[in-house]
Amino acid sequence: MPSWNKIREHEVTDERWFWSRRSVIQSALALGLAPNAIAADILRSEGGQGKDDAPSWLTEKIKRAIPETDPLRQSEEPAPFEIVSGYNNFYEFGTDKRDPASESGSFEPWPWSIQVEGEVEKPGARSLEDLIRPHQIEERIYRLRCVEAWSMVIPWLGIPLRSLIDQLKPTSQAKFVRFETVLRPSEMPGQRALFPSIDYPYVEGLRMDEAMHPLTFLAVGVYGQSLPKQNGAPIRLVVPWKYGFKSIKSIAKISFVRDQPKTTWELSNSREYGFYANVNPSVNHPRWSQASE
């Protein structure tokens, strides 16, 4: 039986190597053995500063996460941390797969709050701590499939979206949940682009029953640490049965609404990217096959 069935995902070799290499660099830095610029550069290139910036309530909670125990998860070998945090789609930082890791240096996710709006008991701004701390953090290993026909298996840490919805208490008028990514052009070079490829802020949405599905997840970490900026720090959606673009990053606003929200990719090209976007290998994208990945 593969080792990932017995140990927590963040204890597997890739990640152990990753952090031990990092701590070697950090101790060398402390002892004055490594030139600062070089060491800082290595640390930056290895997945951002998420681990250092996250508040201790979150890193402590993440350490106590319930490990994934899904017996159906066969032969799904997780992608190495370097790939999960080095090959990304996050247009706010650029359209190249390497841009989110290299261009997210000025993004400062902490402290974070989320604006809660619409058909809900108590609208208003809520700190991420208020929203996450009451819940048990779980590990979920999901295959994230991008509509571009690639996928990776990722060990997320977070809470079911449903737990947050239960906490927020939407009214019976709420039929959809609408999510918005933070709008910070000064920290996000893609949002400053003269001819941006999509409109900002990035918007996504789910029908209420999809949002309440037990697999629908709000990730605050990956591979045993808080989320790197390029993966959507400090909090992003993960919907394992929908194409990756539904899994909106760096969520700053959650609205409970009556009507189906207009989402970013639907607005930019509704023929290619619909609201529901359920993964289905037998339905081709208008410009390419979805049969394999």
Q: Which residues contribute to the site for Mo ion (CB under 5 A)?
A: 89, 146, 244-245
Contact 99, 87 (CB under 8 A): no
Q: Which of ligand MTE, Mo ion, none does residue 182 bind (CB under 5 to 8 Å by kind)?
A: none
CB of residue 285 vs Mo ion: minimum separation in angstroms? 11
Complex with Mo ion: residue 106 or 289, whichever CB lies closer = 289
Contacts 24+ apart (CB under 8 A), 188-196: 188/92, 188/93, 188/104, 188/107, 189/92, 189/93, 189/94, 189/103, 190/90, 190/91, 190/92, 190/93, 190/94, 190/95, 190/99, 190/103, 191/92, 196/91
Please name which of 47, 65, 48 lies closest in space to residue 10, comparing C-alpha atoms.
Answer: 65
- Residues 75, 76, 81: CA angle, nearest 5 degrees: 135
Complex with ligand MTE: residue 174 or 237, whichever CB lies closer = 237
CB of residue 85 vs Mo ion: minimum separation in angstroms? 16
Helix or strand run (H / E) with residue 82: helix 81-84
Q: Which of ligand MTE, Mo ion, none does residue 247 bind (CB under 5 to 8 Å by kind)?
A: ligand MTE
Q: Which of ligand MTE, Mo ion, none does residue 19 bind (CB under 5 to 8 Å by kind)?
A: none
Q: Which of Mo ion, ligand MTE, none does residue 225 bind (CB under 5 to 8 Å by kind)?
A: none
Complex with Mo ion: residue 98 or 162, whichever CB lies closer = 98
CB of residue 51 vs ligand MTE: minimum separation in angstroms? 16
Q: Which of ligand MTE, Mo ion, none does residue 178 bind (CB under 5 to 8 Å by kind)?
A: none
CB of residue 28 vs ligand MTE: minimum separation in angstroms? 30
Q: Which of ligand MTE, Mo ion, none does residue 179 bind (CB under 5 to 8 Å by kind)?
A: none
Give the residue closest to ligand MTE by C-beta. 244
Contact residues for 36 (Cβ-Cβ < 8 A; gap 6+): 29
Complex with ligand MTE: residue 173 or 278, whichever CB lies closer = 278
Distance separating alpha carbons of residues 165 and 177, to the nearest angstrom: 9
Complex with ligand MTE: residue 119 or 266, whichever CB lies closer = 266
Q: Residue 118 CA to chain centroid, in angstroms?
A: 24
Contact positions vs ligand MTE (CB under 6 A): 88-92, 144, 146, 181, 202, 231, 244-245, 247-250
Complex with ligand MTE: residue 38 or 83, whichever CB lies closer = 83
- Identify the burial level of 233 via C-beta atoms within 10 angstroms of its C-beta, where 0-12 means exposed, 13-18 middle and 19 or more buried: buried
Helix or strand run (H / E) with residue 129: helix 128-132
